Amino acid sequence: MNHLPPRARAAAAPGRAAPDRDGGDGLSPGAPPPGPLLRLLRSAGFRFALLFAALFAGSILAFALVLWWGTAVALDRQTDALLRADALALAERWREAGAPGTAEAIEERLAVDVDAASIYLLHGPDGQRLAGNLDRWPPEIEDAVTAWANLLVTHDGQSSEARLYATTLPGGYRLLVGRDVADKLALRELIAEGLIWAAGFALFFALFGAWLLRRALETRLRPAFETAAAIAGGDLGQRVRLTGLGDEFDRLGATMNAMLDRIDRLMAGVKGVSDAVAHDLRTPIARARAKLEDALRSTPEPGTPDGRALRAAVEAGIADLDAITRVFQALLRIAEAEAGARRAAFAPLDLVPLLADLAEFYGAAAEARGQRLETALPDSVRLTGDRDLLLQAVANLLDNAVKFGPAGGTVRLSARTLDEPGPAGAPLAAEVTVSDEGPGLAPADRARAGERFFRADSSRGTPGSGLGLSLVLAVAHLHQGELALEDAEPGRRPPGLRARLRLASG
Amino acid sequence: MRILLVEDDAEVARFVKKGLQEAGHVVEHAANGRDGLFLAASEQFDLLVLDRMLPGGVDGVRLVETLRSQGSRTPVLFLSALSAVDERVRGLKAGGDDYLVKPFAFAELLARVEALGRRPATDAPTTKLRVADLELDLLSRTVTRGGKRVEVQPREFRLLEHLMRHAGQVVTRTMLLEKVWDYHFDPQTNVIDVHVSRLRQKLDKGFDKPLIHTVRNAGYMIRAD
């Protein structure tokens, strides 16, 4: 068995390629999770509910205003109109019959006013009272030609709130017409009280309705949301539960389900195709390899230079076929990880013993190249993930580090538990860091390093296929995480490369 | 050994059959699952080599499941063009003992066939493994050569144990990777060679005769000589 060209250093991660300058362990803990208020404001259900409550309260306010206008204000206006008409009628009488006629008219009116709600006062130019049921001219109304006033007056032996209209008649006579409004005030208070109660109930119903609305929205949206989350997590078997009501939410759910069925068929198709490709490509390669190997085994060691050259060519052909198989295998493995199908194989695991084993395994390779492999591992880093793919991802990083690090250099492997928000929503649970003292990766190349077959110019002289970091990236995405590539020691020449594989759990 | 080969691809079948026969085994060949199942159920074999995907309605996994349900314990080696990790796991779960992905080197197949076929029939516990003057004590987890203690790391102990359990047989690098480290990926470097040569240095230090031999184009073998 010969050893095939190790993978090239491709490197890099979309996303966080910016160098982190605070050194190995001092990573910033990330933004704190949003507070409850902010989360509430971000909820569309809450915003809808708020809108509902505002509309409800607005319409109730309009209703109350109209009601107020139609009752209390209308009563006031009615009183004023009555007073003005009465005053006009008395002024008319004045013109016709003078002061005695007017006084007479006033006395008549007072006589028929059984409710004792009317107030009249006629003063002569010298200030003496000519007629009316007020003892004295209210001092608050003095000089004006005509004046409106709301005053507490005493008439018919009782004191009460009155609406008054004063007017000046020719010759210095003054006339005061008024109505006792105590009953109307009581009615007005009653209306205001009613409106306040109604507003209170309305506010309560607005808030309660908003809460109901928000809850109903959430309840109806939850199946769609949960299904979408499960799908994003790789479980394509989930479907949105329908209520059978046939409403908008059901239609949304049904559309989502139709979409998922289609994705499912496509995925099954892709899986079928990749199985078929795997089979249809491996079988002829297997035949070709078998023929070449058979040819080698059944011909004796040749004595002639031509025979030896032929033999060497056949051996090279076998090695090339093995290289093709290896690239093909790597591509299939990346496709497997990207399809998310491997999430079925997720299991809880502790990264530390796995990493310690890998370090021991690759430590031998590092030593053979005159390098040291140092580890900084905590007691345990728990994660739910795919053991085989995680091992292969870290193995690819270590292989790159050993391959690109200089003789006498140090490769460092460390891990730690994380608790911070991740790029795919799930919180990141673990970080594995591999750094070397090699040439590093130009910032422009970092973003491309995860692309299949990408090879940085600096790695042209090193054997490899350009698939190593593609797999690491695919494994990072499978675990809802990310791969960050940065200078191991910014400013140093060469800067070295630090790869941080950050993973979410489950 | 008497081996049943169930493989639908004529060329691969011919190549495997010829190679196994040259290695001294008796090989029966069936070209589809149905014939394979009939042969496996009616005759006695030391080992089955099965293609994972077979025509005829009975594929490799079904064949093994059927045999196992009938109580057969004949070791089974899967050959497969399906390399997905899940496929390997499914094959082993169904009752397969080993899984080899196509295309393969014949030496790899032969090494696995011999390792499977010559497994002890009983699981009688062994406490000590011996090859020439090398002794490995499974209970005290110590290694001695010529009576002198050899200090080895835990992983080296397991590596040596695996080699000694298959003393006289070729053990390939991939087999060591799978059985000693439980790694099912290509490490892309000759790191297995580095581990074996470290172990070899420890064992052979101060002795004339090397015990661990490199078999060209195949792997390693430990033998008395």
Contact B194 A367 (CB under 8 A): yes
* CA count, 13 A, side-chain hemisphere, A51: 9
Cβ atoms B219, B176 nearer than 8 A: yes
To the nearest whole angstrom, how far is the Cα of A294 from the nearest Cα of chain B?
A: 7
Q: Which of residues 379-418 of A touch B (CB under 8 A)?
A: 388-389, 391-392, 395-396, 399, 402-403
Report, at the CATH architecture level, how domain B2-117 is classified.
Answer: 3-Layer(aba) Sandwich (3.40)
Residue A7's pLDDT is 40
Residues of B in contact with A391 (CB under 8 A): 183, 185
For chain B, give every domain's residue range: 2-117, 128-222
For chain A, give every domain's residue range: 41-224, 265-339, 341-504
Contact B185 A368 (CB under 8 A): no
Residue A340's pLDDT is 66
Residues of B in contact with A1 (CB under 8 A): 105, 107-108, 172-174, 217-219
Residue of B nearest to A389 (CA): B185
pLDDT in tens, A191-230: 889 888 988 888 888 888 888 888 888 888 888 888 888 7
Nearest to A318 by CA among B128, B63, B167, B107: B107
Residues of B in contact with A6 (CB under 8 A): 188-189
Between A and B, how many residue pairs show a Cβ–Cβ distance under 8 A? Answer: 131
Residue A458's pLDDT is 63
Both tokens of residue B133? 């003057």
Q: Least CB-CB distance to B189: which of A289, A291, A399?
A: A399
Q: Determine the Cα–Cα distance for residues A252 and A235; give it in Å rounded to an integer.
A: 20
Nearest to B74 by CA among B104, B107, B40, B105: B40
pLDDT in tens, A264-288: 888 777 767 777 777 788 888 999 9
Q: Which of residues 68-87 of B touch A (CB under 8 A)?
A: 81-86
Residue A29's pLDDT is 38
pLDDT in tens, B180-204: 999 988 887 788 999 999 999 999 8
Both tokens of residue A502? 């950050």
Residue A221's pLDDT is 81
Contact B81 A282 (CB under 8 A): yes
Label each residue of chain B as H, E or C: CEEEEECCCHHHHHHHHHHHHHCCCEEEEECCHHHHHHHHHHCCCCEEEEECCCCCCCCHHHHHHHHHHCCCCCCEEEEECCCCHHHHHHHHHCCCCEEEECCCCHHHHHHHHHHHHCCCCCCCCCCEEEECCEEEECCCCEEEECCEEECCCHHHHHHHHHHHHCCCCCEEHHHHHHHHCCCCCCCCCCHHHHHHHHHHHHHHCCCCCCCEEEECCCEEEECCC
Residues of B in contact with A329 (CB under 8 A): 83, 101, 186
Residues of A in contact with B215 (CB under 8 A): none
CATH of domain A41-224: 3.30.450.20
CATH of B128-222, one of 3.40.50.150, 1.10.10.10, 3.90.79.10, 1.10.3720.10: 1.10.10.10
**Is the minimum CB–CB distance between B108 and chain A shorter than 8 Å?**
yes
Residue A423's pLDDT is 78
Residue of B nearest to A392 (CA): B185
CA Rg value for chain B: 19
Q: Determine the Cα–Cα distance for residues A217 and A343; give it in Å rounded to an integer.
A: 31
Both tokens of residue A140? 């608050």
Residues in chain A: 506
Nearest to B192 by CA among A396, A352, A9, A368: A368
Contact A345 B217 (CB under 8 A): no
To the nearest whole angstrom, how far is the Cα of B122 from the nearest Cα of chain A?
A: 31
How does strand A146-155 pair with strand A129-132?
unpaired
Both tokens of residue A438? 């090699």
Angstrom CA distances, B104 to A127, A312, B25, B91, B112, stand at 131, 19, 19, 17, 11
Residues of B in contact with A318 (CB under 8 A): 105
**Is the minimum CB–CB distance between A69 and chain B shorter than 8 Å?**
no
Q: Which of residues 158-217 of A touch B (CB under 8 A)?
A: none
**Pick among A1, A4, A475 to test the B interface (most B CBs inside 10 A):** A1
Q: Which regions in chain B score pLDDT beneath 50?
A: 121
* Superfamily of chain region A341-504: Histidine kinase-like ATPase, C-terminal domain (3.30.565.10)
**Is the minimum CB–CB distance between A4 and chain B shorter than 8 Å?**
yes
Q: Which regions in chain A score pLDDT beneath 50?
A: 1-32
* CB neighbour list of residue B24: distance below 8 Å, 6 or more residues apart: none
Q: Least CB-CB distance to A332: which of B83, B155, B219?
A: B83
**Is the minimum CB–CB distance between A357 and chain B shorter than 8 Å?**
yes
| Torsions phi, psi for A350 (to 5 deg) | -105, 120
Residues of A in contact with B16 (CB under 8 A): 290
Q: Determine the Cα–Cα distance for residues A268 and B8; give it in Å rounded to an integer.
A: 25
* CA count, 13 A, side-chain hemisphere, B126: 14
**Is the minimum CB–CB distance between B154 and chain A shorter than 8 Å?**
no
ipTM, two decimals: 0.87
Residue of B nearest to A395 (CA): B187
Beta bridge mates, B2: B26
Q: Determine the Cα–Cα distance for residues B85 and A345; give it in Å rounded to an integer.
A: 9
Residue of A nearest to B20 (CA): A294
